[in-house]
Amino acid sequence: MSTPFPKAGEVKPKWILIDLEGKILGRAATRVASILKGKHKATYTTHCDTGDHVVVINAAKVRLTGKKLDQKLDFRHSGWPGGDTHTPYRTMMEKNPEKVFELAVKGMLPKNPLGRKMIKKMIVYKGSEHHQQAQQPVPLEI
């Protein structure tokens, strides 16, 4: 008897709501990445997208431990000589806290077309209001 593998049309993704208020950035990001991959399901398959959709609220209230808020830098490069930009996480948390969490989760997903498909199933909000009430997301405690 062979092992049954789920096909793309057979998987029915659920919607999960995660509140980041007071949570640590890295620990929350690993849990969300695991849900996006589908590792919490018995039908997990590495080559198939078996994960669920995730709605993340209160991204502005996530915590960074130690001195990361001042010492950790986001690096971007424009492709031109001297086009590198270093942004401290304190500035990023003030201007765009959603991007901080998205970058943390994106770094934990596979670097291939399947990983790019997985990251699109996550929606991050700065505050506690979200627009996915119609999907009836199930709250999950991290």
9 Cβ contact list (under 8 Å, min separation 6): none
Predicted local confidence at residue 3, as pLDDT:
80
Between strands 84-88 and 73-77, the pairing is antiparallel
Predicted local confidence at residue 142, as pLDDT:
87
Predicted local confidence at residue 45, as pLDDT:
87
Q: Which amino acid is at 90?
A: R
DSSP letter string over 7-29? Answer: -TTT----EEEEE-TT-BHHHHH
H/E run at residue 87: strand 84-88
Given pLDDT bands bounded at 50, 70 and 90, which one contains residue 2? confident
Report whether pLDDT(1) > 80: no
Distance CA 59, CA 80 (A): 32
pLDDT in tens, 26-84: 999 999 999 999 999 988 888 889 999 999 999 999 999 999 999 999 999 999 999 99
Report whether pLDDT(8) > 80: no
pLDDT in tens, 77-118: 999 999 999 999 999 999 999 999 999 999 999 999 999 999
For residue 12, how many other CB atoms are within 10 A of its CB? Answer: 7
Predicted local confidence at residue 94, as pLDDT:
96
Q: Which CATH class is domain 15-139?
A: alpha beta
